[in-house]
Amino acid sequence: MKVTVVGTGYVGLVVGTCFAETGHTVRCIDIDEDKVASLNEGKLPIYEPGLEELVHRNLEEERLTFTTDLEGAVADCLCVYLCVGTPRKETGEADLSFTLTAAEQVARAMTGYRVIVNKSTCPLGTAKKLDELIGGITSHPYDVVVNPEFLRQGAAVDDFMRPDHVVIGSDDVRVQEIMKELYAPFVRTGKPILVMDIRSAELVKYATNAMLATRISFMNELANICEAFGGDITHIREGLAADSRFGTSYLFPGLGYGGSCLPKDVSALAHIAKDKGLKCDILDAVGVVNERQKDMFVERILGFYGDDIGKKRIAIWGASFKPKTDDLRDGPSLKLIDALIKKGSEIVVYDPVAGPRVRDRYGDKVTIAEKNYDALQDADGLAVVTEWNEFRRPDYSKMASLMREKVIFDGRNIYTPDMMKELGFRYFSIGRQAV
């Protein structure tokens, strides 16, 4: 099948590449000529495990191409995927301008029947807007389908190639069969393709992210209660995870959620509900708790050093909002770095892949370490912000020998208080008693 993907951001790259990997002929569209040229050379603008290898292979096999020629790509395909950004406005609602512009350009380029698949996360009613917009421009037949993505950054290729489920929002049986055929190679193990009405398909992605965000914020509130009363959030988490009603996912306390999806989608869902006159006390609280969790970590570090913080050298391990990505958006590291810069601290950051993005954002206000231990040289404290695997079992003796003060602020609970006490570190984590 010939597939055109409009947008070569995070979602568009993964969608286009994975479809090509199963044998489809895929053309990915972007207006940035330099970006397109780099992609055709196999140079990716993002870090995502496994993606670069797939891009190289499918470029060589000529199943995948990148181009600025939207008109040519749309003129010769069956399915057109809209994978453009829907950033959050200051009001909290999603900005649909990129999606609507892409749909308009697709409509003007159509030469026959097309299945227009909206893969971008958009508010309820967007499919109707797209239908009206496209129908007002072209006389060619078409169908609009909602096909939300459930890709986790750092595991996106695996999520797409082996999904838990696929959601198709369409009321037309013929279109449903086209979409089922497209996704058949990915669900051979029996994972379900869920066919539903368009409105429900538009809502399910928001519902999923809101539920995940709620679990994270709830665990962080429990962690704060544990600290106040002398409990240990590790035991609380184990008790919850052992209950079959809850499961084990998203029960780890920490510095809250970040990235491009959860903050935006929780805010957007609350906004569209309030537009209907509904109260969203839980959704509002989820966002408040999340920001408060980041602030508390910052305040803990500032409070420990007091007025001397401006004289301190603080090492930060991990800058991306989660492991296996270089994405800094809404990451807890940004609040910490901003606060330390304001106080005049010396800041040294190490992240396995996100270092260049930190340098681009802060310039000479921070030092980027080439290796994790380099960041610890003469450090007065270490803040663990992102739980990259290489931080989990470090050489503690080497750490102690490098640091000026043996102080660790563990925002991801990757070490144990007993071990830190035995090694002579002053240690602060989330939901457990300080050492």
Question: d(Cα 173, Cα 365) in Å, to the nearest integer?
Answer: 57
Q: Given pLDDT bands bounded at 50, 70 and 90, which one contains residue 25?
A: very high
* 22 and 136 fall within a common domain: yes
DSSP 8-state assignment for residue 94? B
Q: How far is CA 124 from CA 76, 81, 146, 341, in A?
A: 30, 18, 11, 41
Q: What is the mean pLDDT of the chain?
A: 95
pLDDT of residue 335: 96
Domain assignment of residue 390, yes or no: yes
> How confident is the model over 98-131, as pLDDT tens digits?
999 999 999 999 999 999 999 998 888 999 999 9
Contact (Cβ atoms closer than 8 angstroms) between residue 145 and residue 175:
yes
Q: Given pLDDT bands bounded at 50, 70 and 90, which one contains residue 413?
A: very high
Question: d(Cα 72, Cα 64) in Å, to the nearest integer?
Answer: 15
* 133 and 6 fall within a common domain: yes
Domain assignment of residue 433, yes or no: no
Domain count, the chain: 3
Q: Which of 83, 90, 47 is nearest to 322 (CA)?
A: 47
Helices (H), 188-331: 198-229, 233-241, 262-275, 281-305
pLDDT of residue 86: 87
Which residues, 6 or more positions from 256, have their beta carbon under 8 angstroms from its beta carbon? Answer: 216, 217, 220, 289, 290, 291, 293, 294, 332
Domain assignment of residue 289, yes or no: no
Domain assignment of residue 189, yes or no: yes
Mean pLDDT over 209-238 rounds to 95
* 121 and 84 fall within a common domain: yes
pLDDT of residue 153: 93
pLDDT of residue 2: 96
H or E element in which residue 25 lies: strand 25-29
* 186 and 214 fall within a common domain: no
* 130 and 71 fall within a common domain: yes
* 218 and 185 fall within a common domain: no
Question: d(Cα 260, Cα 298) in Å, to the nearest integer?
Answer: 22
Mean pLDDT over 339-351 rounds to 98
How much of the chain, in percent, has pLDDT values that exceed 90?
93
pLDDT of residue 116: 98
380: CATH: 3.40.50.720
Q: Given pLDDT bands bounded at 50, 70 and 90, which one contains residue 93?
A: confident
Domain that holds residue 259: 210-284
Residue 92 has pLDDT above 90, yes or no: no
* 224 and 349 fall within a common domain: no
Q: How far is CA 395 from CA 276, 372, 423, in A?
A: 55, 11, 11
Residue 95 has pLDDT above 90, yes or no: no
* 156 and 114 fall within a common domain: yes
* 10 and 114 fall within a common domain: yes
pLDDT of residue 353: 96
Mean pLDDT over 376-394 rounds to 97
> How confident is the model over 299-338, as pLDDT tens digits?
999 999 999 999 999 999 999 999 999 999 999 999 999 9
> How confident is the model over 152-210, as pLDDT tens digits?
999 999 999 999 999 999 999 999 999 999 999 999 999 999 999 999 999 999 999 99
- Tokens for 230? 């002398």
Residue 378 has pLDDT above 90, yes or no: yes
- Predicted TM-score (pTM) of the model is 0.90
Residue whose pair of structure tokens reads 């995927």 in the numeric block: 81
Catalogue the active-site residues: 261
Contact (Cβ atoms closer than 8 angstroms) between residue 115 and residue 175:
yes
> How confident is the model over 395-405, as pLDDT tens digits?
999 999 999 99
Angle 295-351-327 from CA coordinates, rounded to 5°: 70
DSSP 8-state assignment for residue 141? -
Residue 343 has pLDDT above 90, yes or no: yes
Q: Of 196, 221, 238, which residue sits at a domain end?
A: 196
pLDDT of residue 21: 97
Domain assignment of residue 125, yes or no: yes
Q: Of 233, 251, 284, which residue sits at a domain end?
A: 284
pLDDT of residue 124: 87
Q: Of 144, 171, 196, which residue sits at a domain end?
A: 196
67 strand-pairing partners? 29
Residue whose pair of structure tokens reads 């970590």 in the numeric block: 297
Q: How far is CA 35 from CA 9, 18, 143, in A?
A: 10, 19, 30
pLDDT of residue 260: 84
